Structure 1
Amino acid sequence: MKRSDIAALLLLGALWGASFLFMRMGADAFGSMPLAGLRAIGAALCFAPMLASRRYMTELRAHWRPIAVVGLTNSALPYVLFSYAAQSLPAGLSAIFDAITPLLVAASGWLWLSEKLDTPRILGLLIGLAGVLWLVGDTAGLGHGNAHAGWAMAACVGATVCYAFSVHYSHRRLRTVSPMSTTAGSQIVAALLLTPSTIWQWPAQTPSTQAWLAMLGLAVACTAVAYLLFFRLIARVGAARSMTVLYLIPAFGVLWGTLFLGETFTMAMAVGCVVILLGTALTTGLIRFRPTTAAGTVAAVEET
């Protein structure tokens, strides 16, 4: 990759990692439902100019049903669940839980879609699960001073389950639709779904300026701009290389939480993060095992 592409990849990781910081900053002031709704509404407004394009409108009209499903499972529900978790969990910990998405994608494909997994990927799933259990045990022991920490962790896992479902569903139902149409349409659907609850549960006390800035950063920078940057990266370096951003999100999430919120990054969290990322790297094929001969050379695989 060129230096500009590496810089764009780091920026994307920083933006998506910052989403957990902004949710943590705004969740208490807005509440989980209004914050999730404002995030979707803000992103939808950023993508609204695309509706003037005949190409995108044609795709949206032709595929509105599966796009609506993706809007629910890849945007609306995860936004609500992560916003809820942000009221109890540190931003860094929520970001680490987000890293299990590729593990769930692989596991669900194996269990329900009969997709084959080789030994390294199965090993990666087991290692990643061990990392999650390690984090859950550590967090439950610490409690983070909040009795709702267990529900918050369940919400994080629930959000990643939604993401995993969306990956398989989009691959099957929206393979021929441009990613930009799917993203814009899903944000619009999420905004429509969450607007009633945003109005109904609007906080009685006006949120602070800091909370509003966090919400704007979440909607504009971490959602709309990040998706545009993501699609630009896919066009330049391909989907496989672009997906390496998944390994950057936990690191940036922990970094921003530590720098701006004074969150403590414990050794147990570090171990859990490393174990999850190792499992993810094995599951996604970033780390591969190759058979070697007795002399240590890579054994050639003959095609028959």
Structure 2
Amino acid sequence: MNSFFRLIMLAAIWGGSFLFMRISATPLGPAVLIEARVGFAAVTLLIIAFYLKKQLNMVENAKHYFTLGLFNTALPFLLFAYAAQSLNASTLSIFNSTAPIWGAIIGAIWTRTALTKPVLLGLGLGVIGVSVLVGWEAMSIGENAILPMMAAIGAAVSYGIATNYAKHAPSVEAFNNAHGSMWASVVLVLPLIFFLPAREAPTSEIAMAVILLGVVCTGLAYLLYFRLVSDLGPSSALSVTFLIPVFGILWGHLFLDEAIGFNTVIGSIFVITGTMLVTGFSPRQFFQQKAVQGE
């Protein structure tokens, strides 16, 4: 399996996560859904760790795992699950793709460095794209859309914080980062289920959505992502961000009959273009690199 196919597969899997959240977030509630998601993911990674004979060193790196688990998993997952009760899968996936933009803003503040002109242009386009989505959702859903949209933006901001933390964090193997932070997330989310219990018993459809969300869209997807980072490097692997909305929109349309509106297309174009400028990603250079590598 070549790297480009892995990239497409990962985008399809992560795009599907918003579909599964739309199915299960309302009946289960954000806390129960995400506790189940990270629980299934943690167990999946534990089984793989046993197979690969990888030691986690949970006690030694506890502070690191809990910090990463909070900002890269528990908090954004909960915020997206809350938003998924109101917003459709395509809108959620587009908000998710703004994470690199927030990462750039947070990074500039963190390191006290000025943003370049391409980055500023990208930020501007990203803001326009989000504004198109926000304006349309506010009109179609009403005032009830405001908090879910703020939650979705908050989730993307949380990913931006995690990205910048990871750059200055202790050096830990990528697999262990995924595995350790997932168990930390299980602990962080667990108390919430006692205050925010499930609204109804899960049907077989909801149970299957949660299992796929945890095992495939979280546990196995992390392994696929870190393999891409190893093969292509962080910058090229980040290109998956631009493809996730494509699949988020597609799966929402095919399985939930979500309409693909003009605002969705325009908002996506602005957000994805802005994110490319912020990250410095060039599709032409990416495909030229794949051609040279013979993939």
Check the 8 A contact 2:27/2:199 in 1, yes or no: no
Tell me the matched-pair count.
282
Aligned counterpart, 1:291: none
Report the residue type matching 1:138 in the other structure: W
User: Mean Cα displacement is larger for which, 107-116 or 36-45?
Assistant: 107-116
Which structure: larger Rg?
A: 1
Match of 2:201, SS? coil
Choose the corresponding residue for 1:75, options 59, 73, 76: 73
Deviations 1:43-101 (A, max 9, x none): 1111223278775333x332210211111111111111111111000011000100110
Q: What TM-score do you get using the length of structure 2 for normalisation?
A: 0.90
What is the Cα-based RMSD across aligned positions, in Å? 1.8
Seq. identity, %: 34
Which residue is 2:128 aligned to? 130
Residue 47 of structure 1 aligns with which residue?
45
Contact 1:38 1:198 in 2 (8 A): no
Which of 150, 153, 160 is the matching residue for 1:154? 150
Match of 2:214? Answer: 219
Cα deviation 1:81-128 (Å, max 9, x = unaligned): 111111000011000100110100111111232234221111111111
SS of 2:56's partner is helix
> What is the deviation of 1:17?
0.4
Uncovered stretches (5+) of structure 1, i.e. residues with no partner:
289-304
Q: Which runs of 5+ in 2 are unaligned?
A: 284-295
Match of 1:239 in 2: 234
More displaced stretch, 28-37 vs 249-258: 28-37
Does 1:255 pair with 2:255? Answer: no
Q: TM-score under structure 1 normalisation?
A: 0.88
Check 1:164–1:51 CA distance in 2 against 1; reply closer, same or farther (3 A cut): farther
- Counterpart of 1:301 in structure 2 is none
Q: Structure 1 pair 208/281, CA: closer, same or farther in 2 (3 Å)?
A: same
Task: Give yes or no for the alignment of 1:164 onto 2:160.
Answer: yes
Q: Which residue of 1 aligns with 2:290?
A: none
**CA displacement, residues 138-163 of structure 1 (integer Å, 9 cap, x when unaligned):** 111122xx642111100000111111
Would the aligned equivalents of 2:56 and 2:179 in 1 still touch at CA under 8 Å?
no
AA paired with 1:252?
F
> Retained in 1: the 8 A contact 2:94–2:268?
yes
Cα distance in 2 for residues equivalent to 1:126 and 1:196 = 39
Amino acid at match of 2:280: G
Aligned residue number for residue 287 of structure 2: none
How far apart, in 1, do the equivalents of 2:126 and 2:60 lie? 39
Distance in 2 (alpha carbons) for counterparts of 1:181 and 1:73: 16
Contact 1:51 1:57 in 2 (8 A): no
Other-structure match for 1:205: 200
**AA aligned opposite 1:142:** S
**Contact persistence 2:103–2:161 (CA under 8 A):** yes
In the aligned structure 1, how far is the partner of 2:203 from the partner of 2:54?
Answer: 41
Candidates 64, 83, 89, aligned match of 2:87? 89
The CA distance in 2 between the partners of 1:169 and 1:51, in whole Å, is 28
Q: SS where residue 203 of structure 1 aligns?
A: coil
Structure 2 counterpart of 1:229: 224
Separation in structure 1 between the aligned mates of residue 200 and residue 131 of structure 2, nearest angstrom: 38
> What code does the residue aligned with 1:188 have?
W
Q: CA deviation at 1:251?
A: 0.7
2-structure distance, mates of 1:189, 1:209: 28
